[in-house]
């Protein structure tokens, strides 16, 4: 696990393929707190309960709680239109 002093942020990985989630987990865990969800419902629960900085989601899966690409959160929690 990552030392809390070194964590750069929290990433939520959402994909129904466990191998994809696991691969992303191991690629990110050295610098980030990584949460994993296999469904939209599971991801929604994490988003409601945790301060998520970035969501990495399956391209074929609708973004959790938002239209894909409709918004992102700026540092400090402010919401802004997504960059395209």
Do 9 and 50 contact (CB within 8 A), yes or no?
Answer: no
Q: Is 67 among the domain residues?
A: no
Number of compact structural domains in the chain: 1
Partnered with residue 10 across adjacent β-strands are: 33
Q: Is 23 among the domain residues?
A: yes
CATH number of the domain encompassing residue 18: 3.40.50.2300
Q: Is 76 among the domain residues?
A: no
Q: Is 84 among the domain residues?
A: no
pLDDT truncated to tens, each residue of the chain (84 aa)?
Answer: 555 568 899 999 999 999 999 999 999 999 999 999 999 899 999 999 999 999 999 866 555 554 444 344 555 554 444 444
Task: Give the residue numbers spanning the domain of 37.
Answer: 4-62
Q: Tell me the C-alpha distance between 73 and 81, whole Å.
A: 9
Query: pTM, whole model, 2 decimals?
Result: 0.67
Residue with the two structure tokens 């959790």: 64
DSSP structure string for 14-69? E-S-HHHHHHHHHHHTTTSEEEEESSHHHHHHHHHHS--SEEEE-TTSPPTTS-TT
């Amino acid at each position: 696990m990552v030392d809390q002093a070194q964590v750069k942020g929290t990433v939520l990985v959402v994909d129904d393929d466990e191998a994809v989630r696991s691969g992303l987990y191991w690629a990110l865990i050295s610098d980030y707190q990584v949460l994993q969800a296999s469904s939209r419902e599971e991801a929604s629960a994490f988003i409601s309960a945790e301060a998520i900085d970035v969501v990495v989601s399956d391209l074929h899966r609708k973004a959790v709680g938002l239209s894909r690409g409709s918004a992102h959160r700026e540092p400090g929690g402010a919401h802004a239109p997504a960059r395209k």
